[in-house]
Amino acid sequence: MKILVGAWPGYGHLLPMVPLIRAAQRGGHEVVVTSGSDMAGLVENLGVSAHASGLTLAESYARLPDGVVVSQLPPEEQPLFAARNLFGAGAVDRARDVLDLVDTWRPDLVVHDTLELGSATAAAVRGIPQVTHGYGPMVPGTTYFAAAIGSAIAEGGLPDPVAEVLAAPYLDICPPSLSGSEPNPWPSTHPLRPDAGEADAGALDRLDLAALPHPDTVYVTLGTIMNQAPGVFRAVIEGCARWPVNLVVTTGPGVEPAQLGPLPPSVRTAEFVPQAAVLPVCRAVVSHAGAGTMLGALCHGLPQLCLPQGTDQPFNTAALLPTGAALALQPAEITPDAVAEALGRLLEDASFRDAATRVRAEIEQMPAADVVLAEILARLAA
């Protein structure tokens, strides 16, 4: 079969769908991934065809009205603004490019992430079956958020696809312990086991981890979108360095290691390292609580210190804390002293690691991608 995968141009949107892409490859299906041109290298490394559609991530942010920075808006204004000006406007551009693709290469199925409704629009217009692929805990107000995206798509001259999206299956990669009480607007939901991603052979070689002075290592990241916070990195590094641990710090695009100030010999930095390469050598994770990082750490049974910066990160944190596998600091609380105190608790109190191990066991019981894809395709054939 022909399967089109639509992803918003961000690592956290595409990478959770890789297990399903791999399952499709193993099943002998033809896969094309459509996203911004900035994702082409990552897509091609998966061994599938990349189709450029819509804007890149940088272009999406650059065209926001009046240069608004989403994370600097009042929290109550962020969801609607992002829905209309990022995901809604981006869906219009992507839908037009994807419509051209589906008219020449008609897929049998369209799989898209929760916020990438451009390919969903093309699927609805051309009557192609579609599936929504989740990437983390259900965010409060999902239906309201989706309606705002759909409204922006309609204002762009295309049919609002939200009714078709919600009527189609939803692939839920959130383990049961993190599901909480937030209602799921999709009546047809299929659990799908998440993973931590794929390790690039040799990804850690250039970091020379063997030369680090301590037996334990902590992974520090603020992701690739909400990472423009050198002050947060500096506070985290200073706080963590009070413990005998090594740090692997991924800064993300646009943050140079020089902005972090002088670094002790126990710290290694890189713009990006596949988390699947670094997590197996770590004892804990300090992060923005992006869904991919959070679930990746749980796949390895690692306790976490969450530093939510915006978007869905506060909701991810709120879902994780009740499991007992994490601690959290809000933006105004992130100081070296607070980070040191929290990391010390994670390292010295075994209950955090035990809780993370329990969630890991839940994840391992969730259906694998090959099983879920077979279920979806069987439903199409029925």
221: domain CATH number is 3.40.50.2000
* DSSP-derived secondary structure for 308-320: --STTHHHHHHHH
Classify residue 199: in a domain, yes or no: no
In which band, very low, low, confident or very high, does the pLDDT at 329 lie, cut at 50, 70 and 90?
Answer: very high
Average pLDDT for 321-326: 98
Contact 60, 86 (CB under 8 A): yes
**pLDDT one-digit tens code per residue, 74-100:** 877 888 888 999 999 999 999 999 999
* Statement: residue 23 has pLDDT above 90: yes
Q: Considering the domain boundaries, does residue 36 fall inside one?
A: yes
* Residue 214: alpha-carbon gap to chain centroid: 30
Q: Indicate whether 10 and 141 sit together in one domain.
A: yes
> Are 213 and 167 found together in one domain?
no
How would residue 228 be classed by pLDDT, with cut points 50, 70 and 90?
low
Q: How confident is the model at residue 226 (pLDDT cuts 50, 70, 90)?
A: low
Instruction: Answer whether residue 264 is part of any domain.
Output: yes
Higher pLDDT, 118 or 229: 118
Together in a domain, 132 and 226 = no
Q: What is the pLDDT of residue 251?
A: 87
**Which range among 15-24, 99-108, 200-209, 370-379 shows the weakest confidence by mean pLDDT?**
200-209
Shared domain for 96 and 211, answered yes or no, is no
Task: Tell me, yes or no, whether 358 and 372 share the same domain.
Answer: no
Q: Clarify whether residues 32 and 154 are in a common domain.
A: yes
| Gyration radius from the chain CA atoms | 20
Identify the pLDDT of residue 312: 83
pTM for this prediction: 0.93
Q: Classify residue 267: in a domain, yes or no.
A: yes
Number of domains in the chain: 2
Report CA torsion sign: 42, 43, 46, 47. Answer: negative
Together in a domain, 213 and 271:
yes
Task: For residues 182-191, give the mean pLDDT.
Answer: 92
Whether residues 210 and 287 fall in one domain: yes
Q: Are residues 281 and 133 in the same domain?
A: no
Instruction: Encode pLDDT of 237-275 as tens digits.
Output: 999 999 999 999 998 877 788 888 889 999 999 888 889
Residue 131 within any structural domain of the chain: yes
Average pLDDT, the chain: 93
Report the run of H or E that residue 32 belongs to, with start and end: strand 30-35
Three-state DSSP string of 226-282: CCCCHHHHHHHHHHHCCCCEEEEEECCCCCCHHHHCCCCCCEEEECCCCHHHHHHHC
225, pLDDT greater than 70: no
Domain extent, residue 358, equals: 205-364
The span from the CA of 306 to the CA of 329, in Å, is 6
pLDDT confidence of 298, banded at 50, 70, 90?
very high
**216 lies in the same domain as 141:** no
Residues in the chain: 382
278-290 pLDDT tens trace: 999 999 999 999 9
| Percentage of the residues of the chain whose pLDDT score is greater than 70 | 98
Q: Are residues 280 and 319 in the same domain?
A: yes
Within-domain flag for 20: yes
Residue 200 lies in a domain: no
DSSP 169-223: -EEE-S-GGG-TTPPP--SSEEE-------PPTTTTGGGTGGG-S-SEEEEEE--
Q: Are residues 184 and 294 in the same domain?
A: no
Query: What's the pLDDT band for 73 if we cut at 50, 70, 90?
Result: confident
